[in-house]
Structure 1
Amino acid sequence: MKTYLKEMLSRKDLLYYLVRSGLKAEHRNSYLGYLWWLLDPLLNVMVFYFLVVVILDRGDTENFPLFLVIGLIVWRCISSTLSSSSGSIMRYSSIVSQVYLPKALFPISFTLTQLFNFAFGFLVIAAFLIWFGVMPGWEVVFLPLLVLIQTVFLLAIGMILAYVTVFVRDLENVLQYVTRVFFYASPIIWEGGRLPPEYSWAVTYNPVAVIVTSYRDVLMYGNLPDFLGLGIILVLSIAAIWFMVWYYSRHEHKIIKSL
């Protein structure tokens, strides 16, 4: 495993290339290019605001558009990272099958790519905070911690999905429905989720719900984040990453045979 980690560190130039090429590829044939990083969350807020407030006559939460934009931007980062990471090794299958590279680098690169996109989302959140006159308190100092925990969590899940997808190609299709379940089971567009009381545990123990709510606590409500929930997510994610690095180092030769 130590040798594998050293190999990964020696390939940091490749990691940089993968992140840069991933950013360019996302909007290669788009007229607006990187401007979509700002427009996409804004358009999402407009669509869901129309759905929840105009059509369903819900959204009684104070400063609901701000509530909505924080949830949607965080969710966009989570869902897009999981979706892209799951097929990261398959995307570079032609390179993987010809040149030896630590396969764990591919889900890492896609996670970092989406993290860069997530940074643009904060510009939109900042604009909404200013528009609604909401000034975050000193609790905003925990914002980098939230980003770190979210990134570690997504990296852990991404490494698992990337490996399994090589052998179970249908996983990418199934993942669309799994993420949809998490979307509606988490407080993304409704406060506290919309599950019946007997299924409230699905929100309480939902890592996505913990992360999204913590962002709102820090940016919108001036409250401390859920340190217990975040701590559990961080510890389990680090353990999963450690295990997956070990697993990649021992079993990634099977990837070549399956491609």
Structure 2
Amino acid sequence: MKTYLQEMLKRKDLLFYLVKSGLKAEHRNSYLGYFWWLLDPLLNVLVYYFLVVIILGRGDDVENYPLFLVIGLVVWRWISSAVNSSAKSILRYSSIINQVYLPKSIFPLSFTISQMFNFLFGLIVIAMFLAIYGVMPDWHIIYLPLLIVITVIFLMAVGFILAYVTVFVRDIDNILTYVTRIFFYASPIIWVGGRLPPEYSIFVDLNPIAIIVTAYRDILMNHTTPDFIGLGIITVVSIVAIIITLYHYSKNEHKIIKAL
């Protein structure tokens, strides 16, 4: 395990290259290029605002609902894109992996980091909505860097696990589309968690994505302290999962190559 971590540190230049190339490749063939990082969350807000407010007639009872919506969608975009891209990361670079020995965990880690940079652009969109609605963050904003770190740790754990399992069970990639969709509707992304009937409240209380999304709204919008108990549990479980998964990577690198 120690040797494996040292090998990962030796490959930090490769990690930087993968992150940089991933960011460039994402919008390489588009006319708007990196502007899509700002435009995409804005378009998402317009679509769901039209769906929820105009068509379904909901959202009016939530103060500053567009702001509520943009925070949820920007955070969700980060989580879903990081999970989906990390799951396919080892398979995506299979041609390189079969030629040169590389710690396989570098690949899901690179996608997790690159999607974090996309999220930072999303924060610009959130800041625009905060200014439009006159909601200025107070001292609770100091928790934001900590919350970003917790989110990265959570996404690293999920990415490591999915990337490893997907190598051996290719159907995971297909199933993941439906799983992420379930989590989208089971989390307060476009609706308020309190609207669920009491018997279904467990989907919010024990849902890590719901806890994380709510924490961003608490810090940026509600001016309250986030649920550090829930965030702490997410962090501890994620760190344990990372350690266990990296151990499996170090012991089964040869099996990954054979499966590819």
| Corresponding residue number in structure 2 for 1:126 | 127
Q: How many angstroms apart in 2 are the aligned matches of 1:66 and 1:252? A: 45
Q: How many angstroms apart in 1 are the aligned matches of 2:182 and 2:124? A: 28
Report 1:1-259 matches (<5 A).
Answer: 1-59=1-59, 60-192=61-193, 195-259=196-260
TM-score by length of 2: 0.98
Aligned residues: 259
Q: How many angstroms apart in 1 are the aligned matches of 2:253 and 2:245? A: 10
Q: How many angstroms apart in 2 are the aligned matches of 1:252 and 1:159? A: 13
Deviation readout 1:72-111 (Å, 9 max, x if unpaired): 0000000000000000000000000110000000000000
Gaps of 5+ in 2: none
| Structure 1 residue 195 displacement after superposition | 4.2
Q: How many angstroms apart in 2 are the aligned matches of 1:256 and 1:7? A: 17
Deviation readout 1:160-208 (Å, 9 max, x if unpaired): 0001001111111100100100000100000107643212111110000
Q: How many angstroms apart in 2 are the aligned matches of 1:14 and 1:239? A: 25
Contact 1:186 1:193 in 2 (8 A): no
Q: How many angstroms apart in 1 are the aligned matches of 2:247 and 2:256? A: 15
TM-score by length of 1: 0.99
Q: How many angstroms apart in 2 are the aligned matches of 1:58 and 1:202? A: 21
Q: How many angstroms apart in 2 are the aligned matches of 1:233 and 1:97? A: 35
Q: How many angstroms apart in 2 are the aligned matches of 1:44 and 1:237? A: 29
Contact 1:86 1:165 in 2 (8 A): yes
Gaps of 5+ in 1: none
Q: How many angstroms apart in 2 are the aligned matches of 1:36 and 1:254? A: 39
Rate the CA distance shift 1:135–1:194 in 2: closer, same or farther, 3 A.
Answer: same
Deviation readout 1:7-33 (Å, 9 max, x if unpaired): 000000000000011011111111101
Q: Which runs of 4+ in 1 moved over 3 A?
A: 193-196
Identical columns (%): 70
